[in-house]
Amino acid sequence: MKRRKVDLQQAPVNAAKGVDERFQAATPLRALLNKVFPDHWSFLLGEIALFSFIILLLTGVFLTLFFDPSMKEVAYEGAYPALRGTEMSAAYESSLHISFEVRGGLFMRQMHHWAALLFMASIVIHMARIFFTGAYRKPREANWAIGMILFLLGFLAGFTGYSLPDDGLSGTGLRIASAIMLSIPVVGTWLSASIFGGEFPGHLIIGRFYIAHVLLIPGGLLALISVHLGLVFKQKHTQWPGPMRTNTNVVGERMFPRYALKQGGFFMAVFGTVALMAGLFQINPIWLFGPYRASEVSSASQPDWYVMFMDGLVRLMPNWQIYIGDYSIPPLFWPAVVGLGALTTGPIFWPWIEARKSGDKRIHNLLERPRDNPERVGIGAMAFTFFIIATLSGGNDVIADKFHISLNAMTWAGRIGMLVLPPLAYFISVRICLGLQQHDREVLAHGVETGIIKRLPNGQFVEVHQPLGPVDDHGHPIPLEYGGWVVPKKMNRVGALAPAVKGFFFPVEKPAEAPVSPGMPPVSGDTREEITSGRK
């Protein structure tokens, strides 16, 4: 009998050929696999959000297998002794069941919660990177707007999820949410009654929040994340200016294999970080909070950190009630409804506002270093200062208690700080940017400081500078144009010393190479000579 010869080497080729003949996949796949992504650590911040969203989906599906979104009253008879016999809702009972009886349930719950905090944190950090580098400029305005809406959706997903266990803390949060709805003039009462199905808390809210939390909001998030990434693919990623990088090309690594491997590794790192935190740090110990009772409100009742700015604004708002005839507008309305609305929707329009102000209609695929646009940095610093003060004020009772400050002093510090510090942050950051610009121009005009002081025959001391480019007849450097990218400011950056950083976090420092083009011979390094003070 003759054995059929199997050519193993040919097998993948045949398989791929078969797939292509059936699905015509080669052409689109080649474009996809060869797609080039620029490499910089700050471009990976958005991925943290994407990966934590994937972790949220995975752990969330696990939790839905055991969670009962019902407000039916039951008596607890589970494994946790300190609540046995207590009347509670089925939602809270099943959350306790997940925490104490489902194998790995508490770990999954903690992973889900930490991943949610990480999701929102990385969205904010990613947004800061986009803002300060001007990556939202034409043609990417729409993606900036989508990103802001993603933050808002994440905010809602977080709030609904925080409410689901129906414990003492989440019920307090819901109570505040209902108060915020009630504070809206004219429609408030109807809005609250329609969401809660009558008077707070009613018997419907957990079921309604559940479907919003597991279907509607994640569906919206998934759709918008797809559009967000699709636009990054279509419009291509922005890149930093630098040698060989222009507004019309992308310099970086191909999607496959290196970039895909890096991203796979980074996903593992994000997953590992979330799992590490879930395993080490307790989060939201619902069993201590007890079932929600309107009479039980704990001190240090805070929302999760990304809602805390709203809580802070509410805490800082003076008690100004406005009466119009028989009606009144409670002070809560201004920070919680107007403030939240303005802070989450206003920034959506920033790219158009800036373009209109500067009259800039060009397409920008190259990023701008923050220092090159001091006004933008100033406005960003102002916004973040405001956000940070509002967030800190959201936890001002914990800060007051743990740092032994009067709570009243904290409130007034927040009120005054909110008005005084943002303009101060604007001024300081603009001055820093201008100073950095100035220094860049100085180095380009005079060269790198060598640290060598030379004494001239007439007794004068001068510092020796290493020119970055050609020099004129007197040996003075010819001023260079600023290229929008890092100007070497230390001698080891121009190849005079061994690299200071060994390349663990940063690429090994190499002397900047002149662009190689076919028409010009490459610059050879042979003609370099050591710089000295001139003394033999």
Partner 1 sequence: MTSDTPAGRRLRVFSRRRGAPSKTRRRLGAAVRMVAALALAGGVYTAFAPGAFADEPRQLSATAQEGKQLYDNSCITCHGRDGQGVDDRGPSLIGVGSASVEFQVGTGRMPMVRQEAQAEQKKPQFDKNQTKQLGQYIQELGGGPQLPSGELVENLEENPEALARGGELFRVNCTSCHSFTGAGGALSSGKFAPALHDATPEQIYAAMLTGPQNMPVFGDNQLTPDEKREIITYIKVQLQDDRDPGGIFNLGGYGPSTEGIAIFLVGIVLLVFTALWIAGKS
User: By CB under 8 A, what part of segment 309-368 binds partner 1?
Assistant: none
**Cβ proximity to partner 1, 336 vs 444, nearer residue:** 336
Q: Is 195 helix (H, G, I), strand (E, B) or coil?
A: helix
**Cβ proximity to partner 1, 24 vs 34, nearer residue:** 34
Instruction: State the Cα–Cα distance between residues 172 and 201, nearest whole angstrom.
Output: 10
Residues 42-61 that bind partner 1 (CB under 8 A): 42-45, 48
Question: Could you tell me the two tokens for 40?
Answer: 């910089």
Residue 103 binds partner 1 (CB under 8 A):
no
Is omega for the bond preceding 257 within 30 degrees of 0, making it cis? Answer: yes
Residues 367-396 that bind partner 1 (CB under 8 A): 391, 394-395
Angle, helices 141-163 vs 217-235, to 10°: value is 160
Q: Is 306 helix (H, G, I), strand (E, B) or coil?
A: coil
| 313 within 8 A of 393, measured Cβ to Cβ | yes
Residues 167-186 that bind partner 1 (CB under 8 A): 168-169
Q: Binding residue for partner 1 (CB under 8 A) from 17, 293, 439, 476? A: 293
**Cβ proximity to partner 1, 83 vs 468, nearer residue:** 83
Distance of closest approach, residue 377 Cβ to partner 1, in angstroms: 20
φ, ψ (nearest 5 deg) of residue 167: -95, 180
Residue 298 binds partner 1 (CB under 8 A):
yes
Q: Binding residue for partner 1 (CB under 8 A) from 256, 266, 334, 387? A: 266
**Cβ proximity to partner 1, 151 vs 426, nearer residue:** 151
**Cβ proximity to partner 1, 141 vs 253, nearer residue:** 253
Residue 143 burial (CB count, 10 A): 21
Distance of closest approach, residue 75 Cβ to partner 1, in angstroms: 11
**Cβ proximity to partner 1, 111 vs 443, nearer residue:** 111
Residues 73-92 that bind partner 1 (CB under 8 A): 81-86
Burial class (CB in 10 A: 0-12, 13-18, 19+), 320: exposed
Distance of closest approach, residue 457 Cβ to partner 1, in angstroms: 48
Residue 41 binds partner 1 (CB under 8 A):
yes
DSSP 123-162: HHHHHHHHHHTTTTSTT-HHHHHHHHHHHHHHHHHHHHHH
Q: Which stretch binds partner 1 (CB under 8 A): 148-156, 277-285, 331-339, 479-487?
A: 277-285
Q: Binding residue for partner 1 (CB under 8 A) from 59, 89, 122, 365? A: 122
**Cβ proximity to partner 1, 60 vs 290, nearer residue:** 290
φ, ψ (nearest 5 deg) of residue 361: -110, 10
Residue 125 binds partner 1 (CB under 8 A):
yes
Residue 249 binds partner 1 (CB under 8 A):
no
Kindly state the number of chain residues that form the binding site for partner 1, as judged by CB under 8 A. Answer: 80
Q: Binding residue for partner 1 (CB under 8 A) from 253, 375, 442, 449? A: 253
Q: Which long-range contacts (CB under 8 A, 24 or more apart) does 151-155 make?
A: 151/120, 151/123, 151/124, 151/127, 151/344, 152/344, 152/345, 153/217, 153/220, 153/221, 153/224, 154/119, 154/120, 154/123, 154/221, 154/306, 155/120, 155/306, 155/307, 155/344
